[in-house]
Amino acid sequence: AQSVAQPEDQVNVAEGNPLTVKCTYSVSGNPYLFWYVQYPNRGLQFLLKYITGDNLVKGSYGFEAEFNKSQTSFHLKKPSALVSDSALYFCAVRDVGNTPLVFGKGTRLSVIA
């Protein structure tokens, strides 16, 4: 069965600094990997995905993520954090077939001005 681990409950970063939110995964086959963001009292918004191809994928709002097969990781990154990036971030994985997304526990990102 597939699973996702987000080792950090909270990440704090100063505005303008680069940010990284970590994610590792476990699947039996080739992974489909996703990042979502949740703002307070809102639904989940899709940021980016990795299906195949380039290991560095770019997404919405200047976010990008790097797929590393040997380390089974899919870390979310942004070169320069904004206060408005403060939110709850979820990594998710799905296996081949029409299976539902399996989510990590979430990482709360706090960007301090």
Partner 1 sequence: DTAVSQTPKYLVTQMGNDKSIKCEQNLGHDTMYWYKQDSKKFLKIMFSYNNKELIINETVPNRFSPKSPDKAHLNLHINSLELGDSAVYFCASSQIKGTEAFFGQGTRLTVV
- Residues of the shown chain interacting with partner 1 in the complex, contacts defined by CB under 8 A: 32, 34, 36, 38, 42-46, 49, 51, 88, 90, 94, 96-103, 105-106
Q: How far is the CB of 45 from partner 1 (least distance, A)?
A: 8
Beta strands, E only, the chain: 3-5, 10-14, 19-21, 24-26, 32-38, 44-50, 56-58, 64-68, 73-78, 87-94, 102-103, 107-112
Q: Which is nearer to partner 1, 13 or 91 (CB)?
A: 91
Q: How far is the CB of 16 from partner 1 (least distance, A)?
A: 27
Q: How far is the CB of 80 from partner 1 (least distance, A)?
A: 25
